[in-house]
């Protein structure tokens, strides 16, 4: 004799819908959502604390480039800069100490914005990869110009930096336009610095 009523299974049947997202587990009939991995991979769901940590990390990386450049350029940079024959449109020595901290903040915030909008570092591999490479050249330039006193070689370094920053702005714009605009002051400043580098190399 057959039982007309279907038997209840003690295990919960889970349908594979092909969708990705937080894993669910059955605990005594109650559904428990495991969001730990999903939240860690997605800044939008990581909470304000996770996004704040990400911002600090990107700011530290940006300022690290400036710190490495300061070490490579050596001491008495202000006096050495003033000793160069400079064009009339060259900025005063103190301007660099005012401009660069602001630019490094913008550089860090721009990268953070791309990471936040893309959802993860992996999803933003191209723009953040370009961002990281341009920071390497940013850090290297002072060491060539001041540290090694090779002004014409520094023109080559900053020329590559110009190209990398243009590419980074383009890649950022594909993810978030605000992030791209945040890099525009940086791009304008290094283009100005490129012209200044060429002028000093030619005059000296």
- Whether 18 shows a pLDDT value over 60: the answer reads no
What's the pTM?
Answer: 0.77
Average pLDDT rounded to a whole number, residues 59-75:
96
Confidence of residue 21 (pLDDT cuts 50, 70, 90): very low
| Domain-wise residue ranges, the chain | 47-203
Confirm if 62 and 104 have CB atoms less than 8 A apart.
Answer: yes
DSSP secondary structure letter of residue 28: T
Measured CA to CA, the distance from residue 93 to residue 10 in angstroms comes to 76
Instruction: Give the model's pLDDT for residue 122.
Output: 92
- Whether 66 shows a pLDDT value over 70: the answer reads yes
Instruction: Give the model's pLDDT for residue 153.
Output: 98
Measured CA to CA, the distance from residue 79 to residue 187 in angstroms comes to 26
Residue whose entry in the numeric block shows the structure tokens 């283009």: 191
Q: Is 32 helix (H, G, I), strand (E, B) or coil?
A: strand
pLDDT tens digits for range 186-203: 999 999 999 999 999 999
pLDDT tens digits for range 87-104: 999 999 999 999 999 999
Token pair, residue 127, equals 């723009």
> Where is 34: in which H helix or E strand?
strand 30-34
Using alpha carbons, select from 159, 66, 61 the residue that is nearest to residue 110. Answer: 61
User: Which CATH number is 47-203's, of 1.20.1260.100, 3.40.50.970, 1.20.1730.10, 3.40.30.10?
Assistant: 1.20.1260.100
Residue whose entry in the numeric block shows the structure tokens 């791009």: 187
């Amino acid at each position: 004799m057959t039982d007309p009523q279907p038997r209840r299974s003690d295990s919960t049947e889970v349908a594979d819908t092909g969708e990705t997202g937080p894993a669910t587990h059955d605990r005594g009939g109650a559904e428990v959502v495991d969001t730990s991995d999903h939240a860690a991979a997605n800044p939008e769901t990581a909470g304000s604390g996770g996004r704040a940590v990400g911002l600090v990390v990107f700011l530290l990386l940006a300022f690290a480039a400036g710190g490495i450049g300061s070490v490579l350029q050596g001491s008495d940079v202000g006096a050495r800069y003033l000793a160069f024959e400079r064009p009339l449109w060259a900025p005063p020595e103190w301007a660099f100490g005012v401009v660069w901290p602001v630019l490094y903040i913008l550089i860090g915030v721009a990268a953070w914005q791309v990471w936040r909008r893309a959802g993860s570092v992996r999803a933003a591999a191209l723009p953040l990869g370009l961002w990281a490479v341009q920071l390497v050249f940013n850090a290297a330039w002072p060491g060539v110009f001041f540290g090694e006193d090779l002004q014409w070689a520094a023109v080559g370094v900053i020329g590559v930096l110009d190209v990398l920053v243009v590419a980074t702005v383009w890649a950022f714009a594909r993810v978030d336009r605000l992030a791209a605009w945040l890099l525009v002051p940086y791009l304008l400043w290094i283009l100005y610095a490129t012209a200044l580098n060429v002028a000093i190399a030619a005059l000296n």
